């Protein structure tokens, strides 16, 4: 297992050059390596999992230094023989058949383009889920989960007619530190004499309750008492959004639980980097399958529903997260709440230069400054010119260009502009 750091030279803020491995030049010394390794683990944790919604939309960087964008290699290799935990009984013929099925699937490098007709999955799963593997992009919509780390099969055990397979995906850095990205859970069952794969979502949700209201199908734990009043608020918000944007109703599967970790377990993520921290409302949406997974806000996680309705209208926009914050807030609080917190933070940190606001993605575990600023831009566009102005803002694929064209503000004026507007619009 061999991973190394990758560096990108940033010639212009916001522009990314395709990465190159650093070989014998610009290689950090041992002290720098230790510092970078520590920063990477912190940056990867906070960016990918403190804000799972943003991560699912687009992961561009894990951590950025002054002169470099720092990433860890997560490139897929031809796995070959996938390691198997010594505790698994390889003399068991059934387990051996399942091991062969799962390893062949991983070696096939599943992705969005080849997953639909995958021979490894049960036909019923292919019918139930348009993108059959529910873990394929559970961490990042751009990159398959299985290519983000090296696999080790930890566990295979028969239960309730299925064989469960638990797999660790992780990597090591140049200092031989071990990082675990996630532990996945997937199931196999014999059909017509051969084993096929099943999603943990199918198996784990078999005893969940289902409540259908309008175009939404709510899925929730057996112990939960459905709050129809909260669901009605969500339906009302959707109706208002649809009316404003003149959109047809979209059927949505809405899975929710008290905590986001419970949702992750439901989906088959027994562990994902970032678990074990203080609970807060979190969610993620899959626009390809019209599915919302939400924890902490019950029947009314409007932010993720906004993504399903509006993201597809602006596939190239760099501001889709801001649009969802503008309409649906973030972690259960509206845009004004986050602007107030951001304003206080900026007052305490005058050294922060918002000319480079796209670098400013973390201040604490509750407010993402970057998505808050994006939400502010959407708010200002709507305030100044209504829906037409907002649509125009969303038509750009470069945020800096959009700001200059729509607000007349140049890049070297952004710090002053944002600080003033955040203060003016915080309440």
The full DSSP string for 61-73 is -SEE-SSEEEEE-
Question: How far apart, in whole angstroms, are the C-alpha atoms of residue 242 and residue 277?
Answer: 36
Averaged confidence pLDDT in the chain: 84
Query: What pLDDT score does 175 carry?
Result: 87
Query: What pLDDT score does 75 carry?
Result: 38
Query: What pLDDT score does 58 carry?
Result: 39
Q: Where is average pLDDT lowest: 107-111, 159-163, 271-275?
A: 271-275
Query: What pLDDT score does 81 carry?
Result: 78
CATH topology (fold) of 93-199:
Nuclear Transport Factor 2; Chain: A, (3.10.450)
Q: Where is average pLDDT lowest: 54-58, 120-124, 247-251, 265-269?
A: 54-58
User: pLDDT tens-digit profile of 268-326?
Assistant: 999 998 787 777 899 999 888 899 999 999 999 999 999 999 999 999 999 999 999 99
Query: What pLDDT score does 80 carry?
Result: 56
Query: What pLDDT score does 103 carry?
Result: 96
Question: How far apart, in whole angstroms, are the C-alpha atoms of residue 152 and residue 171?
Answer: 10
Question: Contact, 39 vs 263, CB < 8 A?
Answer: no
62 pLDDT above the threshold of 90 = no
User: pLDDT tens-digit profile of 6-30?
Assistant: 222 222 223 332 233 333 334 444 4
User: pLDDT tens-digit profile of 207-242?
Assistant: 999 999 999 999 999 999 999 999 999 999 999 999
Question: How far apart, in whole angstroms, are the C-alpha atoms of residue 346 and residue 185?
Answer: 42
Selected residue with higher pLDDT from 123 and 142: 123
Question: Contact, 71 vs 19, CB < 8 A?
Answer: yes
Question: Contact, 63 vs 70, CB < 8 A?
Answer: yes
Residue 216 in tokens = 């939404």
Count of beta carbons in the 10 Å neighbourhood of residue 319: 25
Query: What pLDDT score does 52 carry?
Result: 55
Burial 113-142 (b: 16+ CB within 10 A, else e): eebeebebbbeebbeebeebbbbbbbbbbe
């Amino acid at each position: 297992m061999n991973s190394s750091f990758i560096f990108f030279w940033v010639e212009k803020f916001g522009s990314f050059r395709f990465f190159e491995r650093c070989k014998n030049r610009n290689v950090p010394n041992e002290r720098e390596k230790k510092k970078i390794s520590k920063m990477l683990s912190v940056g990867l944790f906070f960016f990918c999992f403190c804000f799972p919604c943003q991560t699912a939309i687009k992961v561009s960087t894990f951590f950025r230094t002054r002169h470099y964008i720092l990433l860890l290699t997560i490139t897929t290799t031809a796995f070959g023989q996938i390691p198997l935990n010594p505790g698994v009984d390889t003399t068991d013929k059934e387990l051996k058949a399942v091991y062969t099925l799962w390893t062949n699937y991983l070696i096939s490098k599943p992705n969005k383009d080849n997953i639909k007709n995958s021979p490894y999955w049960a036909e019923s799963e292919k019918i139930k889920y348009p993108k059959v593997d529910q873990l394929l992009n559970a961490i990042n919509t751009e990159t398959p989960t299985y290519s983000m780390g090296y696999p080790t099969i930890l566990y295979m055990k028969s239960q309730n007619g299925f064989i469960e397979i638990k797999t660790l995906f992780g990597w090591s850095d140049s200092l031989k530190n071990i990082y675990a990205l996630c532990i996945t859970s997937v199931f196999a069952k014999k059909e017509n004499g051969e084993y096929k794969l099943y999603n943990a979502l199918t198996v784990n949700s078999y005893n969940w309750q289902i409540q259908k209201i309008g175009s939404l199908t709510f899925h929730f734990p057996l112990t939960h008492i459905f709050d129809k009043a909260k669901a009605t608020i969500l339906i009302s918000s959707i109706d208002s959004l649809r009316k404003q944007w003149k959109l047809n109703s979209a059927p949505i599967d809405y899975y929710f639980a008290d905590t986001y970790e419970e949702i992750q377990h439901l989906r088959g993520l027994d562990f994902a980097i970032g678990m074990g921290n203080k609970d807060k409302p979190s969610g993620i949406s899959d626009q390809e399958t019209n599915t919302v997974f939400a924890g902490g806000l019950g029947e009314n996680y409007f932010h993720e529903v906004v993504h399903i309705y509006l993201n597809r209208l602006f596939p190239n926009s760099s501001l889709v997260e801001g649009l969802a914050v503008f309409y649906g807030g973030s972690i259960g609080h509206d845009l004004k709440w986050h602007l107030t917190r951001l304003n206080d933070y900026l007052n305490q940190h005058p050294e922060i230069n918002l000319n480079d606001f796209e670098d400013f993605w973390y201040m604490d575990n509750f407010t993402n400054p970057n998505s808050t600023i994006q939400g502010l831009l959407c708010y200002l566009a709507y305030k100044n010119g209504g829906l037409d102005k907002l649509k125009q803002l969303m038509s750009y694929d470069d945020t800096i260009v959009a700001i200059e064209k729509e607000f007349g503000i140049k890049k070297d004026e952004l710090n002053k502009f944002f600080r003033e507007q955040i203060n003016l619009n915080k309440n």
